[in-house]
Chains A and B, each alone.
Chain A
Amino acid sequence: MRPELLARIGSMEMRARQVVEGMMAGLHRSPFRGLSIEFAEYRRYQPGDEIDRIDWKAYARSDRFYIKEFEDETNLNAWIVLDASASMGFASKDGAMTKWQYGATLAACMAYLLQCQNDAVGLVLLDEAIRVQMEPRGTRGHLAHVVGQMERTTPSRQTRLADALHRTASRIKRRGMVLVVSDLLDDPAEVIAGLRHLQFGGNDVRVFHTLDPAELDFDFAGPTLFVDPETNRTVPALADQVRADYLGAMQAFLKNYSEELGKTNIAYRLVNTSEPLDRALFSLVS
Chain B
Amino acid sequence: MGFVNLLFAIGAATLAGPLLYHLLLRDRAQRRILPTLRFLGQMAPQTYAAHRLKNLLLLLLRLAVLALIVLAFMRPYMKADAEQADPDKAQEGVVFALDTSLSMRAQDRWDNARSRLETLLESQPPDTRLALLLFDRAPRLAVSDTTDNLEVLAALRTAKPGAASTDLLAAIRSACDAASHLQALRKRVYLLSDFQNSALNDIRLDLVLPPGVDLFPVPIDDVDRFNATIQNVRETDSEAKDKRRIVVQAAGFGPGRHTAEVVVRDGGEVLASREIVVDASRPVVADIEFPVETDREMFLTAHLELKDAIDEDNAFPFKIEDRSPIPLLVLAPIGSIRLGDEAGGIPSDANPFLKAAVRACEPRVRSKWLDPSQIDAVRVGDYAVVLALGPEAFPPATIARLQEYVRSGGAVVAFPEKGEGDALGDLVGVEVRGWREIDPEVGYRLVSGGTDGGPFSIPGESVDSLVGHPRASRYLEVSEEFPEGVGALLRFDDGSPFLLARKMGSGSVFCFTVPLDPRATDFPIRASFCPFLLEMFRHATRRAEGAFDYRVGDIVPGNELPEGGMVLAPTGRSLDESGTLALAEPGFYRIVTGGKNRTLAVRTDPEESDLSMMTVDEIDAISRLSRSEDAFTDPDLLTASSLTSSDRPPDASRRLWFTLLSAVLGVMALESLLAARTVR
The residues of A with any CB-CB pair to B shorter than 8 Å are 86-88, 90, 99, 183, 185, 211-212, 214-215, 220, 222-230, 233, 235-238, 240-242, 245-246, 249-250, 253
Given contacts A245-B41, A246-B41, A250-B39, contact A226 B51 (CB under 8 A): no
- Is A223 in contact with B33, judged by CB distance below 8 angstroms? no
Q: How many A-B residue pairs have CB under 8 A?
A: 96
**A236-B48, A238-B48 known; A228-B41 Cβ under 8 A:** no
Which chain B residues border A253 with CB–CB below 8 Å?
Answer: 39
Q: A237-B47, A246-B40, A249-B41 are known contacts. Are A225 and B33 too (CB-CB below 8 A)?
A: no
Q: Would you call B37 and A223 a contact (CB within 8 A)? A: no
Contact indicator A242/B35 (Cβ below 8 Å): no
B436 within 8 A of A: no
Q: Which residues of B, 28-56, contact A by the 8 Å Cβ criterion? A: 28-41, 43-45, 47-49, 51
- Indicate if the CB atoms of A249 and B37 lie closer than 8 Å: no
CB pair B29–A223 under 8 Å, yes or no, is yes
Q: How far is the CB of B39 from chain A (nearest CB, A)?
A: 4
Considering only residues 46-70 of chain B, those with a C-beta below 8 Å from chain A are 47-49, 51
Chain B residues near A224 (CB-CB < 8 A): 29-32
Quick one: which of B28, B44, B51, B679 contacts A235, CB cutoff 8 A? B44
Docked-complex contact A230 and B35, CB < 8 angstroms = yes
Cα–Cα, bound, A90→B34 (Å): 8
Q: Could you tell me the distance between the alpha carbons of A245 and B37 in the complex, rounded to whole angstroms?
A: 12
Closest to B35 in A: A87
Residues on the A chain within 8 Å of B679, using CB: 238, 240-241
Known pairs A211-B36, A241-B44, A242-B41; list 19 more (Cβ under 8 Å).
Answer: A88-B35, A90-B33, A99-B35, A185-B36, A215-B34, A226-B37, A227-B31, A228-B33, A236-B48, A238-B44, A238-B47, A241-B679, A242-B40, A242-B43, A242-B44, A245-B41, A249-B41, A250-B39, A253-B39
A242 near B37: Cβ-Cβ < 8 Å: no
Query: Which of A99, A185, A240, A242 has the most CB atoms of chain B within a 10 A radius of its CB?
Result: A242
Distance between Cα atoms of A227 and B29 in the complex (Å): 12
Is the pair B44, A237 in contact by a Cβ cutoff of 8 Å? Answer: yes
Q: Which residues of A contact B37 (CB under 8 A)?
A: 226-228, 233, 235
Partner of A227, one of B33, B41, B45: B33
Flag if A228 contacts B34 (CB, 8 Å).
yes
8 Å CB contact of B34 from A88, A99, A222, A227: A227
B341 at the interface (CB under 8 A from A): no
Query: Contacts A90-B35, A215-B34, A215-B35; is A225 near B29 (CB within 8 Å)?
Result: yes
Given the known interface contacts A222-B27, A222-B30, A223-B51, the answer about A245 and B35 at a Cβ–Cβ threshold of 8 Å is no
7 closest A-B pairs by beta carbon, nearest first, are A237-B44, A87-B35, A249-B39, A236-B48, A223-B29, A226-B34, A228-B37
Q: How many Å from the CB of A92 to the closest CB on chain B?
A: 9
Residues in A whose Cβ lies below 8 Å from that of B32:
220, 224-227
Contact indicator A229/B33 (Cβ below 8 Å): yes
CB of B24, distance to nearest CB on chain A (Å): 16
A224 to B30 alpha-carbon distance, docked (Å): 5
CA separation between A87 and B34, bound complex, in Å? 8
Q: A236-B44, A236-B48 are in contact. Are A223 and B36 (CB under 8 A)?
A: no
Distance between B53 CB and nearest chain A CB, rounded to angstroms: 12
Q: When chains A and B are docked, how far (Å) is the Cα of A251 from the Cα of B616?
A: 86
Nearest CB of chain A from residue B98's CB, rounded to whole Å = 73
Chain B's nearest CB lies how many Å from the CB of A87?
Answer: 4
A223 cross-chain contacts in B, Cβ below 8 A: 27-30, 48, 51
Residues from chain A with a CB closer than 8 A to the CB of B28 are 223
In angstroms, Cα B311 to Cα A210, docked, is: 118
Q: How distant is B45 from chain A, measured CB to nearest CB, in Å?
A: 6
CA–CA, A249 and B44, complex, Å:
13
Flag B9-32 by CB within 8 Å of A: 1 or 0 each: 000000000000000000111111
A225 to B31, CA, bound (A): 5
Least Cβ–Cβ distance between B58 and chain A, in angstroms: 14
Which partner residue on chain B sits nearest A85 by CB separation?
A: B35
Asked whether A183 lies within 8 Å of B44 as measured between CB atoms, the reply is: no
- Contact yes or no, B36 A250, CB < 8 A: yes
CA distance A250 to B35 in the complex (A): 12
Within B401-426, the residues touching A (CB, 8 Å) are: none
Chain B residue nearest to A236 in the complex (CB): B48
Given A223-B28, A223-B29, A242-B40, does the pair A185, B47 have CB atoms closer than 8 Å?
Answer: no
Given contacts A222-B30, A246-B41, contact A237 B48 (CB under 8 A): yes
Q: How far is the CA of A88 from the CA of B596 in the complex (A)?
A: 132
Cα-based distance from A214 to B32 in the complex (angstroms): 11
Query: How far in angstroms is the closest Cβ of chain A from B393?
Result: 112
How many Å lie between the Cα of A129 and that of B51 in the bound state?
41
**Would you give the shortest CB distance from A186 to chain B, in whole angstroms?**
10
- How near does chain A come to B433, taking the closest CB pair, in angstroms? 96
Contact B44 A214 (CB under 8 A): no
Q: A104 → chain B, closest Cβ, in Å?
A: 16
Contact between chains at A226 and B40 (CB < 8 Å): yes
B41 touches A183 (CB 8 A): no
Q: Which residues of B contact A215 (CB under 8 A)?
A: 34-36
Please indicate the chain B residues that have their CB under 8 angstroms from the CB of A211 in the complex.
36
Nearest CB of B to A215, in Å: 5
Residues of the A chain whose Cβ atoms lie less than 8 Å from the Cβ of B27: 222-223
Contact A237 B39, beta carbon cutoff 8 Å: no
* Chain B residues within an 8 Å CB radius of A246: 36, 39-41
B residues near A87, Cβ cutoff 8 Å:
35
Q: Which residue of B lies closest to A211 (CB)?
A: B36
Contact residue among B30, B33, B34, B47 (Cβ-Cβ distance under 8 Å from A241): B47
Distance to closest chain B CB from A16 (angstroms): 25
Q: Can you sample 6 A-B contacts with CB below 8 Å?
A: A185-B36, A212-B35, A226-B32, A238-B44, A245-B43, A246-B36
Chain B residues with CB under 8 A of A222 = 27, 30
Q: Is the CB of B35 within 8 A of A183?
A: yes
Q: Which residue of B lies closest to A253 (CB)?
A: B39
Expressed in whole angstroms, the minimum distance between the Cβ of A253 and any Cβ of chain B is: 7
